[in-house]
Structure 1
Amino acid sequence: MSLLLCTLFITLFVDIVHAAGFQFVTCGSVIKLAHIQSNVRLHSHEVRYGSGSGQQSVTGVTDTGDANSYWVVKGTQDKPCKRGVPIKCGTVIRLNHLQTRLNLHSHFFQSPLSNNQEVSAFGENGEGDSGDYWTVQCDDDFWRRDDIIHLKHKDTGRYLHASHNQFGRPISGQREICAIPSQGQDTLWQAMEGIYLKPSDGTS
């Protein structure tokens, strides 16, 4: 094999490995989010809260294979993002639940178990309101898959959190997801399993 062919093969191999890693979380990616402290995945399903807003509940589950834990990364209604573009740290995003097409949402209702701020799934066919907006707080220029992040609710300034409280029937053992006033070790999340779209040319 000639030196040129060897170089091309190595370059191609590195490109494939690099692409397979998909180091950035990009617009349109379908991801699971793990709460670092408890290792539960952010989850939703067609079960409504019996109190508070009565909207679709959002919980944390330990089963890493549950299909109801996939969320689509989207831009806001007034500032959509282009598919495959890496998400910059500090960007305001929406997380759209893949199965039910409702958005991760928060508001000033009390959460049912810990009496913090309720987090729900809300909207119709992927469209809701500004209560669906979350700021990605990370330390790099762009949100990388290995980054440990905070998600700050834009309207209320509170942080996505998994409490220690667990629900009973019909969602026995699932953890309460809520929002709390300050960030800390208990508000850290990481992108995990999913379908990561290939970054578009350039990261600007």
Structure 2
Amino acid sequence: MKNIIDLFISFFLVNTICNFSTIAGAKQRYVTCGSVVKLMNSDYRVRLHSHDVKYGTGSGQQSVTGTEVQEDVNSHWAIKAGTGEVCQRGKPIPCGSVIRLEHITTNKNLHSHHFSSPLSGNQEISCYGDDKGEGDTGDHWMVVCPGDSWTRDDNIMLKHIDTNQYLAASGKTFGRPINGQMEIVGVRSTSGSVHWQAMEGVFLHAPNIMEKHIHTEL
């Protein structure tokens, strides 16, 4: 019952923010702290995705995949500061900064560690933490982008702080129960499928959400 209530609250918050977007003006250029976004792998055109399905091998933690379904609600991620840090809501994310990505539906953070991924044998990517979005240093990712701040047009890389691996899509797909979804991994080389772009989402561009200066594309 608690999971159902939490899911309802998450949908309510997203829908409330979406209603504010009718007042918004020009398209927000930057990806900002507190925004809720979908991230698409630029090579395979799959969106970073998770769900309450655990890996049968490796860590046994919540699995992370890539999906071609643009409308899937399990592909929303909230952008947060690193553990113990604070970023101002609506402030552009500087290139080189360390962030966490919290999966909206399950309130766990995008995570990695020294486990092998199930299909390709690269580094496993999972979701980890409690229902308040708190985990550990394995949730920390550096935003590697070309300018001063992360813009929505950038093809960025996400570098895992603890292991120096880059978030990537392996090109291999799972069977049941997540048939057709792509394996997401950590890789050491930047020559692989390591580039991501912010797509649909709720993009804040004001310190106070109640000022209603936000832009939404779902």
Normalised by the length of structure 2, the TM-score is 0.82
Confirm or deny that 1:23 pairs with 2:29: yes
- Give 1:108 shift: 0.2
Asked if 2 retains the 8 angstrom alpha-carbon contact of 1:49 and 1:57, the reply is yes
The correspondence for 1:115, drawn from 104, 110, 121, is: 121
1:128-164 alpha-carbon deviations (Å, 9 max, x no partner): 0000000000011000011110000000000000111
Is the contact made by 1:48 and 1:54 (CA closer than 8 Å) also made in structure 2?
yes
Where in structure 2 are the equivalents of 1:118-133 lying within 5 Å?
118-124=124-130, 125-133=132-140
- 2:83 paired with 1:77: yes
- Whether the 8 Å CA contact 2:96–2:144 is kept in 1: the answer is yes
Q: Show the 5 A alignment for 1:1-204.
A: 19-124=25-130, 125-200=132-207
CA contact (8 A) 1:41 1:69 kept: yes
CA distance in 1, matches of 2:54, 2:135: 17
Letter in 2 for 1:24: Y
Cα displacement (A) at 1:182: 1.3
| Per-residue Cα deviation, 1:91-128 (whole angstroms, up to 9, x for no partner) | 00000000000000000000000000000000002000
* Amino acid of the structure 1 residue aligned with 2:70: T
CA–CA distance in structure 2, aligned partners of residues 138 and 19 of structure 1: 26
Deviation at 1:184, TM superposition (A): 2.3
Counterpart AA for 2:158: L
- Looking at structure 2, the residues matched to 185 and 178 of structure 1 have their Cα atoms a distance apart, in angstroms, of 11
Runs (4+) off by over 4 Å: 16-19
Deviates further, 132-141 or 192-201:
192-201
User: 1:71 is aligned with what amino acid?
Assistant: W
Would you say the 8 A contact 1:103–1:122 is kept in 2? yes
1:20 Cα deviation (Å)?
A: 3.4
Given residue 137 of structure 2, which amino acid in structure 1 is its aligned partner? S
The AA in structure 2 aligned to 1:140 is G
Does structure 2 retain, via aligned residues, the 8 Å contact 1:26–1:199? no
Matched residues, percent identical? Answer: 54
Deviation at 1:78, TM superposition (A): 2.0
Unaligned segments of structure 1, at least 5 residues: 1-15
Contact 1:24/1:199 (8 A) holds in 2? no
User: Structure 2 unaligned runs (5+)?
Assistant: 1-21, 209-218
For the pair shown, the structure with the greater C-alpha radius of gyration is: 1
How far 1:18 sits from its partner (Å)? Answer: 8.7
